[in-house]
Structure 1
Amino acid sequence: MLGWRLLVSAILIPLLFGLFYLDQRAGVGAPYLLGLCCLLVLRGSWELTHLLKVRKLAPSYPMVCILSLLICIMAWIPFLTSLDGQTPPQTLSLALMAVAFAVSILLIFLKGAIQFQEPGQSMETIGAEILSVSYLGFLLAMLAELRWVIGPETGYIALGSLIISAKMGDIGGYTFGRLWGKQKLVPRLSPGKTWVGGYGALFGAALGSFLWFQITPALFHSNWSAPAWYWSILFGAVIGLVGLVGDLCESLIKRDVGKKDSAELLPGFGGLLDLLDSPLYAGPVAFLMWKLLPLITVSS
């Protein structure tokens, strides 16, 4: 199983970065990334709503899917409509994304009010739909914002840093846990997680981040070079830790509804949500660190 997970990761990650390469050449509007996000919303909304259909929870797939798409598309509007190559400020995209999220909450409550029949179910369903839109629509749109966090032409160095760090953390955690893990980390929530696996997640993410920042800056911009080694390692270690928490949080959802995986999409990985858990959770933290830390060095 370990070899299979490594093989699938070795195939999926290059394919993803190939898509990023095409999208980089397509301009500031990032149409390929938007298409990918829409596909992820379509599949992820189905997984999450079906996962939560237990007890008195009855989230609507069309509602969650449409509202999650609305949040993503609203975040893209400033970049898709930019004229004469002028890039709008990212604050406009973030503001539209936040407004779309707020409107989504209002629409979910409105739907609940219209469909109300008797006490005992409405709040559970409303809560499940808000959770679904928040987890998939808002966090996915926030993750995509890394595309523009340091400029429209070179944004994929930021998005790539998150993906490499998060997935290397997943690989490191799984590898260390399978080879040497004994003491359970959170046995009631995720029986497969061990303390050694947690250390492996930090090590793998820090290593992936260090290599990414050592190799790629000059590929994105001729005046860029690697940051100080400790910033690279700090970024990766934080992403590894937050990604591990994201994995546990997705496990919380699955365990509470009595499921092992979100779906059966890839053997050894589970569903799409099982692949996205750590990047989704770590996205806002990565965005903040790119704003606060000197993660690239600009040559004069």
Structure 2
Amino acid sequence: MLAWRVTISAILIPLLVLIFYLDARAGESSPWLLVLVTLLGLRAVWELTELLRPRIPQLNFPLMCLCVIAIMVGSWWPHLRPDPPELLDLTPLALALCFSVMLLCAVEARRFQAPGHSWENLGTETFIVCYIGLLLAMTAQLRWVAGEQAGYLVIGSLVLCTKGADVGAYFAGKRFGKRKLAPVLSPGKTWEGVVGAVLGAALCGWLWLTFAPGWFVPDAKACPWYYALLYGGVISLAGMVGDLCESLLKRDVGRKDSAALLPGFGGLLDLLDSVLYAGPVALLLWKVLPLATWM
């Protein structure tokens, strides 16, 4: 199984790098990234819908997809204009989210037949739209948070730290793991694995933010080492919480994987769980910590 996971990763990672390369060359509007994030969002909505369909059969999948597309376009709208803003403008994203919630409520009111299901339908649809659409859209804002040139330096820091945390947690948990972190929800996770995750992500954060800035921004300096370590450590903790929260969604309906997309990995949500949670946290850290020394 480990060999299969390595093989799939060897295919997916270069493909992702190629998309990022093409998108970086396309300019600040980032059309390739918009397409990628939208497709990921639609697939993730489908997985959550199918995961919950046995319990809530009346979920409106097309409507949720429409809302997620609106949120993605809203998050991109400031960067599609001829004069993109210097600072992040989240007003169109907030409006798209507001109108999405309003639309979900209106459609549920239109199809009301009898008491007993509307709260479950509306609450679940709103949660799916926010969990997928809003978290993905906020994560995508990393493309611009430190300037157009540094977009993939920032995105790369998120991906490397979350995956470094996964690797650190796996090896520390396998070698030293004894005390269970969440024995009912996720029996394989241990407190020793948490330590390994923090150390692995902190190391990846320090390496990336020390040696990679010059690849993206000419004459860029490395940020202070302690901020890089702090960044990686916080990202690892956020990613682990995201992993546990996705496990909650699956365990509550008696499922191990969100879908059968890739053998050894499960569904798309099983790949994105830590990134979805860590993305908005990374956005906050890039706003409040002096990580972007070139700005």
Same fold (TM over 0.5): yes
In structure 2, the partner of 1:281 is: 277
Number of the residue aligned with 2:224: 228
Q: Which residue of 2 aligns with 1:116?
A: 112
Say if 1:185 and 1:195, in contact at 8 Å, map to a contact too: yes
Cα contact 2:227–2:291 (8 A) shared by 1:
yes
Q: 1:175 to 1:253 in 2, by over 3 A?
A: same
Query: Is the contact made by 2:88 and 2:145 (CA closer than 8 Å) also made in structure 1?
Result: no
SS in structure 1 at match of 2:257: coil
Look up the match of 1:16.
16
Query: 2:44 is matched with which residue?
Result: 44
Q: Which residue number corresponds to residue 179 of structure 1?
A: 175
Task: Output one character per residue of 1:163-197: Cα deviation in whole Å (capped at 9) or x when no partner.
Answer: 11112112221232233323211011111111122
CA shift, 1:265, in A, is: 1.1
Unaligned 5+ segments in structure 1 are none
CA, structure 1 residues 65+90, in 2 after alignment: closer, same or farther (shift >3 Å)? Answer: farther
SS in 2 for 1:191: strand
Tell me the amino acid that sits aligned with residue 201 of structure 2.
Answer: A
Contact 1:19–1:32 (8 Å) recurs in 2: yes
SS at match of 2:100: helix
For 1:225, what is the secondary structure of its paired residue?
Answer: coil
- How far off its partner does 1:56 sit? 3.8
* Contact 1:58 1:128 survives alignment (8 Å): no
Q: Is the 8 A contact 2:88 2:144 kept in 1?
A: no
Pick the aligned partner of 2:85 from 73, 85, 88: 88
CA spacing shift, 1:156–1:140, aligned 2, 3 Å = same
Give the equivalent residue in structure 2 for 1:143: 139
Alignment correspondent of 2:67: 67
Q: Partners in 1 of 2:56 and 2:42 — Cα distance?
A: 24
CA distance in 1, matches of 2:18, 2:200: 23
- Cα-Cα RMSD: 1.7
Q: Is the 8 A contact 1:87 1:152 kept in 2?
A: no
Q: Distance in 1 between matches of 2:14 and 2:292?
A: 23
TM-score with structure 2 setting the length: 0.95
Offset of residue 256 of structure 1: 0.9
Moved more, 218-227 or 133-142: 218-227
**For the Cα contact (< 8 Å) 2:206–2:229, is it kept in 1?**
yes
Letter in 1 for 2:266: G
State whether structure 2 residue 108 is matched by structure 1 residue 107. no
**Counterpart in the other structure of 2:209:** 213
Indicate how the Cα distance of structure 1 residues 116 and 102 shifts in structure 2: closer, same or farther if over 3 A, else same: same
TM-score by length of 1: 0.93
Per-residue CA deviations over 1:58-89 (Å, capped at 9, x if unaligned) read: 3221111110111001111221232xxx4324
Judged with a 3 Å threshold, the aligned counterparts in structure 2 of structure 1 residues 179 and 58 are, in CA distance, closer, same or farther, namely farther
Distance 1:176 1:11 in 2: 26
Matches within 5 A, 1:159-170: 159-170=155-166
Alignment partner of 2:278: what SS? helix
Indicate conservation of the 8 Å contact 1:177/1:193, yes or no. yes
| Aligned partner of residue 185 in structure 1, secondary structure | strand
- Contact persistence 1:243–1:278 (CA under 8 A): yes
CA distance in 2, matches of 1:57, 1:192: 31
Structure 2 unmatched runs, 5+: none
How many residue pairs match? The answer is 295
Structure 1 6/210 Cα, relative in aligned 2: closer, same or farther at 3 Å?
farther
Encode CA deviations 1:248-290: one digit per residue, 9 max, x unaligned: 0001111111111100111221100011111111111111110
SS, match of residue 289 in structure 1: helix
User: Could you tell me how far apart the structure 1 residues matched to 2:108 and 2:248 are?
Assistant: 25
Partner Cα distance (2:9, 2:202) in 1: 18
Shift of 1:6: 4.0
Q: 1:117, CA displacement in angstroms?
A: 0.9
Give the Å deviation of 1:8. 3.2
Q: Could you tell me which of 197, 200, 209 is aligned with 2:193? A: 197
Distance 1:204 1:5 in 2: 19
* In 2: Cα distance, 1:103 partner to 1:128 partner: 17
Percent of paired sites with the same residue? 53
